Amino acid sequence: MKQFDKKVMSSLDILKYYWLFIFDCMEDWTEKYRPKFLDEVIGNERAIVELRKWAKSWDNGAPKKRAVILSGKPGTGKTSSAIALANDYKWALIELNASDARNASNIKRVATHGAVNETFDDHGHFISSKNGGRKLIVLDEADNLYEKIESTKTEGDYSDKGGKKAIIDTIKVTSQPMILIVNDYYNLVKGGGESLKNICELVKFYDPPPSAIFNLLRKISTAEDISVDLKVLQTIADRSKGDVRSAINDLQSISLDKKQVDIQALSVLGYRDREKIIFDALREIFKTKNIKGIKDCISNLDADPENVILWINENLPVEYKDFNDMAKGYEALSKADIFLGRTRRKQNYSLWSYACDIMNGGVALAKTHEYYNERYNFPMWLREIKDSKPKREIRDSISKKISKTCHSSSNKSKDFLSTYFVHMFRNDTEFAIKMKQKLDLAENEIEYLVGKKYTHKIKDILQSSETIAKVKSLEEVIVSVEDERDDKQHSLFDF
């Protein structure tokens, strides 16, 4: 651990947003708009009917086939359908997903115990299976289980020794419904998984049609209050090749920090096949050690290395669960970041090739284990930039007013604003009132300077400013009347 801490501490600039990841990963649109019920799943109507029929067979006790295998390409709605089924039938959900170590002991500890035991409702009351109390046990990425002959018994062992046998044994004794989710059905049933063909029902998922994906993208853009050109939505739907997750990710990436998206926004994605999008480039880096393949994939992205390093940094701790692998990966990113910094300072873009080779190849070669994660997230830094835009606009508005009044540069005004001006504004009410009048500050600008917590102070400043403005206007009226009286021509009758 000391060695790990030393390595990671050298990469603090890259790690500064890592800890926020845990709290923000659900903001991904693929999770935000995940179907809650089976009626909301697009495409694969036949698969949904078969899944409902299987679930209905549990009404009269455990059926002959107690587990179902959902097979299909990534992004076709398999996991979403399993979760939606649990919601439709009000079944408790137990999910053993790709980020877990799936060896025999873990499967028995989680899946088998859940399969043979009864369940409770949301209020903690016991519900017998005879009375409809069910748990749905979902094993995602089940085709990634391997029957290894030997397994190293070191700390952080992620082997799947005996995993298929444990699943088969669990299905035979389960009193609860089970779902296995796979991308490659034949990889699951080969070898020790042969008997799964007989004890499980198979439901195949196919690519949803582009029209269904188009309608979903239009619904999402409407919900996000973003005006997107229909040609953009159609192009994304066509290029997705049935991968709904990929289509939603593409829509989110081009809609970042925008309220209107036109056809030119597609240049961000590039005119390329879906296999070459950023998510597949990440899979190439995290899943293989083929340096030439990774280099070709990244070059076809036509993406700025400054953005690519953010994607890798965001998803590295999600992918690499072993501390040593993670530390080596961050060490490679840290060195790549040095080259990117030199590129910015010297404007020498030939250094980009060194940064790309180090961050892509270095991270790929850092792993010593196989990991089965397939879900990647948008960079936290980009999200924070989007969320902080309103505050930055208010800050820039105030600094412009200071620059205009003090005849100073915008950089000096921003520096003065963040160091001295805010402090004086918050601690000296009389100063705040004067500055409100002098700079003609709006209410949202005052709120930015004072802080939302001090609403009473904001009211005092606004009320005092209004009073001063009224007094000032009254004084101006009096002065103007007196001036008119002085300017009036005198006559003898005035004396």
pLDDT digits (tens, 9 = 90+) for 330-349: 999 999 999 999 988 888 87
Domain residue extents for the chain: 1-23+300-385, 44-204, 389-485
Contact 309, 379 (CB under 8 A): no
Segment holding 138, helix H or strand E: strand 135-139
Q: How far apart are CA 172 and CA 376, in angstroms?
A: 34
- Percent pLDDT > 90 in the chain is 21
pLDDT in tens, 199-216: 999 999 999 999 999 999
- Asked if the model's pLDDT at residue 103 lies above 60, the reply is no
Segment holding 217, helix H or strand E: helix 210-223
Contacts for 484 with CB less than 8 Å, ≥ 6 apart: none
Q: What is the largest CA-CA distance in the chain?
A: 124
- Give the number of other Cβ atoms within 10 Å of residue 433's Cβ: 18
pLDDT of residue 158: 41
pLDDT of residue 482: 54
Q: Taking the mean position of all CA atoms in its chain, how far away is CA 413?
A: 35
- Asked if the model's pLDDT at residue 294 lies above 70, the reply is yes
60-74, 300-314, 357-371, 374-388, range with the lowest pLDDT: 374-388
- What is the full DSSP assignment across 325-364? HHHHHHHHHHHHHHHHHHHHHHT-GGGHHHHHIIIIIHHH
- Asked if the model's pLDDT at residue 489 lies above 70, the reply is no
Q: Which amino acid is at 454?
A: Y
335: buried, middle or exposed (CB in 10 Å: 19+, 13-18, 0-12)? middle
Q: How far apart are CA 359 and CA 314, in angstroms?
A: 13
112-116, 320-324, 343-347, range with the lowest pLDDT: 112-116
pLDDT of residue 462: 66
Q: How far apart are CA 463 and CA 142, in angstroms?
A: 65
Report pTM.
0.51
pLDDT band at 399 (very low <50, low <70, confident <90, very high): confident
Count, in order, helices (H) and strands (E) of the chain.
27, 9
Greatest mean pLDDT among 19-23, 51-55, 99-103 lies in 51-55
Q: Where are the alpha helices (DSSP H) in 142-209?
A: 163-173, 185-189, 196-199
The partner residues of 201 in beta bridges, in order of sequence, read 68
Q: How far apart are CA 237 and CA 231, in angstroms?
A: 10
Q: Taking the mean position of all CA atoms in its chain, how far away is CA 138?
A: 23
Looking at every residue in the chain, the average pLDDT score rounds to 76
- Asked if the model's pLDDT at residue 172 lies above 70, the reply is yes
The two three-digit tokens of residue 417, written as one number: 């604003």
Q: How far apart are CA 336 and CA 257, in angstroms?
A: 27
The two three-digit tokens of residue 482, written as one number: 């007196």
Contact 111, 176 (CB under 8 A): no
Q: How far apart are CA 83 and CA 34, in angstroms?
A: 9
Across 91-96, average pLDDT: 84
Handedness of CA 271, 274, 279, 285 (dihedral sign): negative
205: left (phi over 0), alpha (psi -120 to 50) or beta: beta
pLDDT of residue 217: 94
74-78, 358-362, 458-462, range with the lowest pLDDT: 458-462
Torsion of CA 438, 442, 445, 446, to 10 degrees: 70
Question: Domain 44-204, what fold?
Answer: Rossmann fold (3.40.50)
pLDDT of residue 97: 58
The partner residues of 179 in beta bridges, in order of sequence, read 68, 138
Contact 297, 319 (CB under 8 A): no
The partner residues of 69 in beta bridges, in order of sequence, read 180, 202
**Distance between start and end Cα atoms, the chain:** 100
pLDDT of residue 24: 45
Nearest-5° Cα angle at 59, 58 to 64: 35
pLDDT band at 53 (very low <50, low <70, confident <90, very high): very high
Greatest mean pLDDT among 119-128, 276-285, 389-398 lies in 389-398
78-82, 226-230, 282-286, 294-298, range with the lowest pLDDT: 294-298
- Asked if the model's pLDDT at residue 367 lies above 50, the reply is yes
Across 224-245, average pLDDT: 89
Q: How far apart are CA 214 and CA 235, in angstroms?
A: 9
Across 67-81, average pLDDT: 91
The two three-digit tokens of residue 208, written as one number: 């949803």
Across 27-37, average pLDDT: 87
